[in-house]
Structure 1
């Protein structure tokens, strides 16, 4: 996403916790919440982000209302957990390419306490940071779950249309189905 040339590099703390329960089957990880998501204290809250329309299409349902509680219920009902790779970092606006000094979230406790059997990352930076920061920690904790990188649903990824994103995200439903009810 383009940033204003005078935008400052800010130290940002994630600010809200993961969405999950003991019956979660997959974990979907972004990099760091956008300013709109941090403001709303919930995931994928920028009005142009296509995450929620994609997930709704996958499950054949209407897009959940823009309120965090409706989206939380949707995620839990469909057995996908949400969190981000990064707990804190230096970042300019919502620009993943500007991320510096990333500190990862500790994913092990929720993976151990749930039925999560697959991790998906949304966007190239989330995948890169997961491989570098989270995967080694999980391996040292004796946790071996596969990770599949997915394209970003951000408006910055304008080259991918909604049908293309929905097709790419079909693997999420397949992973949920492999571990129980979709």
Structure 2
């Protein structure tokens, strides 16, 4: 789960659309997929084929720019409704700190909850390889890697 789409994602109506966001490159490398050949629909299909759903903690918010630290008046998504619509849901993985602030809410679903390093270009404290390894561990733990 992300927090809320950034400006590039909102403008293009596509998750993780910022060209420096590492979400799609991390997943493609873990699943040995050729990211260059995949358009957005193909990327979403890749995630779905591997059992990964993409959603955000917030349904709406006020924010100038794309930084999570600028989020105000956030309204959470209906996570209980999500769980009811997705009976095969095995775990929640928060993509970054702002999303993970809502662990108390996601933990009420009775599923394992993880805080993963943000794939945002603003989160440069971790190398791509270190982020990739953290994501690999969670995906592997839940059978989303071969």
TM-score (norm: length of structure 1) = 0.73
- Cross-structure match for 2:64: 92
Greater fraction of residues in strand: 1
- CA offset at residue 159 of structure 1? 2.2
Find the residue that maps to 2:53 and give its secondary structure: strand
Tell me whether 1:54 sits opposite 2:26 in the alignment: yes
After TM superposition, list the pairs within 5 Å mapping 1:32-181 onto structure 2.
32-63=4-35, 65=37, 67-114=39-86, 115-128=88-101, 130-131=102-103, 134-135=105-106, 139=108, 143-177=109-143
- CA offset at residue 181 of structure 1? 7.5
Unpaired stretches in structure 2, ≥5 consecutive residues: none
Provide Cα deviations, 1:78-111, integer angstroms capped at 9, x if missing partner: 1100000001111121010111111001122332
| More RCO (CA 8 Å, sep 6+) | 1
TM-score (norm: length of structure 2) = 0.89
Question: What is the rounded CA distance, in whole Å, between the counterparts of 1:111 and 1:53 in structure 2?
Answer: 27
CA RMSD of aligned residues (A): 1.9
Greater fraction of residues in helix: 2
Q: 1:65 to 1:88 in 2, by over 3 A?
A: farther
Find the residue that maps to 1:30 and give its secondary structure: coil
Unpaired stretches in structure 1, ≥5 consecutive residues: 1-28
Query: How many residue pairs align between the two structures?
Result: 145
Structure whose alpha-carbon radius of gyration is higher: 1
Find the residue that maps to 1:117 and give its secondary structure: coil
- CA offset at residue 176 of structure 1? 3.1
Question: What is the rounded CA distance, in whole Å, between the counterparts of 1:113 and 1:64 in structure 2?
Answer: 32
